[in-house]
Amino acid sequence: MADDPVGPGPDGAAARSQPPPSRRGARPRAARARPDLPRPPSAGSSSRRRHPSAPSLPLPSDSSELDSSEWPALRPAPALPSLQELSDGIRAIIRPPPPVILTAADPTLWYAQQLHDDQLDQQAGPALVTPPPAAADSDWASVDAEYAELLEEQLRRMRVARLLAQLADPQPAEVQCIICTLPLHALTTDAPCTLQCHASHAFHAGCLHRFWAAAPRKSCPICRSAPSLADDRFVSACARRATACVVADRAVTADVARQLVWDALPPAPPSAPISPPLQPPSAPTMLDPQEWAAIDGHSVFECTVSPCSHLLDVPATLKVQWASAVVDVLESIDAARVANDPVGLERGLKWHLCLHDVLLRRPPRTTRGAGRATGEIEARFSAWTTGDRARLLARWASDRAKAWSQLHRSAAAADGDADENRALSRALNLIHEGEIARGLRMLHSNGVASVVPAVVDQLKAKHPPRDRHLPADPGVTPPQVSVQLSHAFAHLPRRAGTGPSGNRNEYLRALAYPFGNAKADRVLAAYGKFATAVASASLPLWYQRAQAIATLVPLVKKPLTAAQLATRETPDVRPIAVGECVLRAIGRALAESSRDSFAHALHPQQLGVGVDGGISTLIHGTRLLLEHRPELVVVRIDIKNAYNAINRSVLLRRVAEHPDLAGVVPLLHAVLAPATDLLVGAGRARLFGDAPDGRGDSSTGVQQGFALSSGAFCIALHPELIALDAELTPFGGVARAIMDDVYAVGPRDTVFAAVARFQTAVAGLLGLSIVPAKLACFSFGADLDHHPGRIALGAPIGTIDPPPPPPAAIHPPADDDGRPQLAPHLMPPPLHGRGVLVAGVPIGDAHYVDTVLARIAADTESYISKTVTELRCDPHAAWTSLYYAAQHRFDFFLRHLPPAVTDAYARRLDAAVITAAASLGYAGCLDDPITRRRIRLPARMHGLGLRERAALAPIAYVACFVEAAEACVDRTSLDGAVAAGAFDVLEGLFGPGAFDAGPGAHRFAALVAPNLPRGRVPSADAFVDAWTAAANAAALSPHRGPLDHSVLQAGSDRPSDQRLQRAITSQHELAARDALDADIRALAHTDPRREAWLSTDSF
């Protein structure tokens, strides 16, 4: 809708009943009160009224849910009432317009052009005449006012004429609001509303709300018929939405004001020097028997960036010495801080940066065997213990020089076959180390792209420059934070990537256990003090920047085809920044301690941080809402390069505004204030090292591998997400997100406008961009093919293979009438095969879901086959990978899609797993039915643990559905505490208090009731069928479990810490074992299958 203000409905009607003004006389007061047009600058008239979307009267408090069966946009219009009297009344006020005098020299010519472009939208044709110019001595003020009066009257007549055409057409192509006579645009906060009395009785919902508020009774302004209940609720919802938009606009204004204050603070250095500002003396000024000063001759860059390879683990015989060496360094740092000794602090921090490189780098290869290498490492620790650190550093510098030379030679001689063999070797090593998931990721990875200029250009494009500085002091008084690292160190993942220094998680894990040595056992306490200093940002800026430095790895998103390889195309890459493990561990400990604070600040709109089972809640909640309200539309929003592009200054300020998160602000500020150095390639060159402006490499955004990054990003995005959710809530819709993946659900006449406002909002302070062509929308019941809101937003309908969007510079061709055609990605796709992916799970029509699942199943079959084929050289690694990882690839979809949908694909994957397992044995080893049943049992029941996915499907689905349903609506505990649900709009589907604690909770009784007005939703039918199938499979077993309850009380009376799927699976497997035991015992006594079964341990 245009931004021109409108008056209340009754005033507008009164204005039309007045006679038109004379050429020289003044208009009646009622007519003058219509400020349809802006006043020209020379007229000195009063200011314009408020926008129509801003409510001027008290808004209704009715928040009842809109009935989908009565939704205005979906109900067929009744028969057209007689319009003769109405048309006669409107024509009675139309008289021939007086001539309008405009000349090229007229000061109000801009006014006419604005009216012609904005109000008429170039559709009414030229309506202005140009008589002879006015005399030179004319009173321009009075002439100007007169011109405005005449022009306004003429334009009003044109709009009324178009309204007559609209009322006469039962299906008008272009619709105007009957009250304000302005066009009904698609992407506005004042949604268009077509009353059910006739298809042409269209209004702005805000205009209609104000008209009804001033009228004696609610009725259609045209035919005076009473509105339907759905019409009344829709208009009330639009009024509440308008209020939400006003509140959001005020919040944006206040947020901008706070950002201006934040920007006015003294700025932090954009790029802190990586070398210390001090110049330590070349010779110690006091006795230094431990030779701490030997580090003075080495730069911070040498201490931070290492070309050497390192041991994968600390040797078991040297763990005590390693912990003691770490204690020496950390206690020297603490002593220097207490004594306020900057030189000693600098030396201690530099030793901390390079200690692992000095002691645990891999010795150079020689022909004298591994014994010499082990002896050299032991000699290093002996030299450290005796204080001979100068000799340690001299040998370290020599090894570094050799490593740099070898690194450059190996990078120049790299080839594809060597990389592939190296990937297989590394995958096998990871599997043998117990890091099975990491090993398989390595095996199936598309690899790392060569660092060629085209790849570097891609990396640079994904790291935009900084446009707002960060303050030197965030102005937050953090609480006393004490970082405990014992749990964080013990649970660090093994064989994780290393930062530029080569420091490994294994070196920190080695410190997490008792040593039986007084000095070594002080290491965790000393590291806790050091981590607290890091978290409170009380260490020098140069050290903070050195710890924040990261290696940038360009992972290939999708392998190139043969044709692309022939033309030497560059693959599309995903930049992954790998930071230092010490900073990652400290951030991980701090994020874990702040988990509840993040969840409290972000729930229910954000389900990706601090929420157990948030993804499952999002998937099941979104599907239930779309099934319960088929007229609603879901729009999947893709934020481009979100983590790398978000504005750091706004992010840090919004985190600092949460008192509960004050403890994480100093560390975030220390990491984000300086521009992070990103090192690329074997030469460890900076990404923007050659930039003439000296900009930093990572000046904006956050690192995805840093534990605090996700929470901070979600806090920064949350105000815009709250505004989007508030705009959809009046209509029974929601906005929910998993990190940067946002899903908006609402009626079609409002959801696209809400997404457009969200797009504008995130592009403001946050600097994020949403590409409309990468959006996707779907609805079970709403017609989206030619909806003007969707087309205006540029959102494609979700489909299986969406056409690529055209380049921005190419405009779609015009049709025969000269009107622009829709771009291919906006054209309506086929009626079958529509849907969207919600957190990777397909939601849509049957063809869409089946096609997506077929592709996923095919990819999973290929994954299983490749895993076993590639690892055939090591059968133990192949079986371990199949048992612990490969067979579970499809389980995510079993939990989130009904068994009737996944059954055929689960059976295909069961066959693929059996084929893979049989290939590791002898021919026909798994052909016997009894053997097949036995291998399905878990190992604790003397099976092989290759569970049948087709049998697991109903168990996985009902368990996930129960847990997600409990998280969707509010729940009251026995002590009266209320846990807010993530989809409170579904309370009408489950009923109030469905999952409250205590015996009175009715749980799924309302959901599965057979006599609902609109019938049960498909998910309820699928849940009943899956629970019945799972219960029937265990019906004859004497073992008790969750399946003993009826479907109405599914999941009740279980411990809060019990995983429902595990409990149901255990009950199933006990029943299956008993049945198999009975069948085996019925075999002949000489049957080897019976002998093998009875020879196992007793049950």
User: Does the pLDDT value for residue 139 go beyond 80?
Assistant: no
Distance CA(35)–CA(149), nearest Å, equals 11
The model's pLDDT over 836-889, given as tens digits with 9 standing for 90+, comes to 999 999 999 999 999 999 999 999 999 999 999 999 889 999 999 999 999 999
Q: Which pLDDT band, with edges at 50, 70 and 90, does 70 fall under?
A: very low
Residue 491 confidence (pLDDT) above 50: yes
- C-alpha 1033/C-alpha 1016 separation (Å) is 25
Amino acid at position 214, single letter: A
3-state secondary structure of 494: coil
Q: What element of type H or E holds 668?
A: helix 665-672
Fill in the amino acid letter for 1044.
Answer: D
Contact by Cβ (8 Å): 771, 794: no
The dihedrals phi and psi of 747, each to the nearest 5 degrees, come to -65, 155
Question: From residue 189, how far is each of 61, 138, 985 by CA, in Å?
Answer: 19, 44, 21
Q: How far apart are the first and last CA of the chain?
A: 74
Name the average pLDDT for the chain. 81
**Each residue's pLDDT tens digit, 402-424:** 998 887 776 555 544 445 667 88
pLDDT tens figures, 925-978: 888 999 999 999 998 899 999 999 999 999 999 999 999 999 999 999 888 889
Three-state SS string across 896-930, please? HCCHHHHHHHHHHHHHHHHHHHHHCCCCCCCCCHH
Q: What is the DSSP string of 867-897?
A: HHHHTTTSHHHHHHHHHHTGGGTTHHHHHHS
In DSSP terms, 844 is beta-bridged to 835
Whether the CB-CB separation of 649 and 469 falls below 8 Å is answered with yes
Q: How far is 3 from 50, CA to CA, in rounded Å? A: 9
| Residue 138: per-residue pLDDT | 54
CA distance 384 to 391: 10
pLDDT tens digits along 706-734: 899 999 999 999 999 999 999 999 999 99
Contact present, 21 and 149 (Cβ < 8 Å): yes
The residue with tokens 């020379």 is 42
Using CA atoms, how far apart are residues 782 and 139, in angstroms rounded to an integer?
A: 58
What is the rounded CA–CA span in Å between residue 93 and residue 90? 6
pLDDT band at 684 (very low <50, low <70, confident <90, very high): confident
Q: Cis link prior to 604 (omega < 30° from 0)?
A: yes
Tokens, residue 349 = 């921090």
- Torsion-angle region of 1062 (φ positive above 0: left; ψ -120 to 50: alpha; else: beta): alpha
Are 706 and 579 in contact, with CB atoms under 8 Å apart?
Answer: yes
Query: What is the rounded distance in angstroms from the CA atom of residue 986 to the CA atom of residue 992?
Result: 10
Can you tell me which residue has the tokens 């080695």?
510
Q: Which amino acid is at 689?
A: G
CA 704 – CA 702 distance, rounded (Å): 6
- CB–CB of 43/61 below 8 Å? no
> Rg of the Cα trace of the chain?
35
Task: Give CA–CA dist 618/608, Å, rounded.
Answer: 10
pLDDT tens, 206-252? Answer: 888 888 888 888 888 888 888 888 888 888 888 888 889 889 999 99
Dmax (CA) for the chain in angstroms is 125
Cβ atoms of 844 and 798 within 8 Å: the answer is yes
Scanning 96-228, the segments in alpha helix (DSSP H) are 109-114, 140-168, 205-214
Q: How far, in Å, CA of 446 to CA of 429, rounded?
A: 19
Distance CA 895, CA 957 (A): 4
Give residue 373's pLDDT band: very low, low, confident or very high (50, 70, 90). low
Contacts of 959 (CB under 8 A, 6+ apart): 895, 1051, 1059, 1060, 1061, 1064
Reference 157, options 212, 217, 97, 211; nearest CA is 97
Q: Point out the least confidently predicted range of 376-380, 493-497, 1060-1064.
A: 493-497
Contact between residue 185 and residue 108 where contact means Cβ atoms under 8 Å apart: no
Angle between helices 84-92 and 140-168 (to 10 degrees): 170
Tokens encoding 477: 């008084």
Residue with tokens 């959901």: 1007
Q: Would you state the pLDDT for residue 214? A: 85
Per-residue pLDDT of 43-60, as tens digits, reads: 333 333 333 333 333 333
CA distances from 91 to 80, 172, 221, 978 (A): 19, 19, 17, 61
Among 57, 732, 383, 595, smallest CA distance to 603 is for 595
